[in-house]
Amino acid sequence: MRHRSQERIIGAALEVFAAHGYEGATISQITERAAVSRGLISYYFASKRDLLEAVLGRWLDATLGILDDQGPEVSPDELLATVIDRAVYGARGSLDTQRLMLCLMLQPGTREVFARVERSREVAVRAFEDRLWAIFAARGAADPAVEEVLLRSLLEGAIYKLAVYEDTYPLAEVRSRLYAIYQLGEPGPLPLPPNSFRGAERLRVPA
């Protein structure tokens, strides 16, 4: 019950922040969206900023866990294709969340909170980077660290453009181009439907 209540509140906070912006959102709006008492929110989260940290933490955990279900038997090429597909198509299924996160990362009032949450997950961030480095090393890259930075830059750029130009962004063509850049062959059927990115689903308010 405690876990479910916290998840319900965090999910509501995400949706209210996305609709009104962090500064424009109020605890009363979050209370109404979560259908819980204000006292219950205050019990778990002392302030709106604490709620923001929880939202950012859930999102970052989901992002860093994008390969958690991929075992050692999966080839480096398959892992790289999975990263591309889940990052870009997952973003398409949670554009409100992606837009919110872009704002939170850039706005002076929330950038410091985002940086603090990221620092609190330093071990997980490093593990995720190491896994991407290992993928590129196994594929014979001369400098896996640079390849990891380049990949994330390409994906983050694609997600930004998708968030801004949702109706006209050529997502399928971009996916094919990314596959071509990394010599992954022709893209097959998506391993996950576009709206099933675990990070987005985990943050929805339970019915």
Are 62 and 199 a contacting pair, CB within 8 Å?
Answer: yes
| pLDDT-derived band at 197, boundaries 50, 70, 90 | very low
| pLDDT-derived band at 191, boundaries 50, 70, 90 | low
What are the structural domain ranges in the chain? 2-202
82-135 residue pLDDT tens: 999 999 888 888 888 888 888 888 888 888 998 999 999 999 999 999 999 999
- Cα separation of the two ends of the chain: 14
| Fold for the domain defined by 2-202 | Tetracycline Repressor; domain 2 (1.10.357)
- Reported pTM: 0.82
Residue among 49, 158, 51 at smallest CA distance from 98: 158
61-92 residue pLDDT tens: 989 999 999 999 999 999 999 999 999 888 88
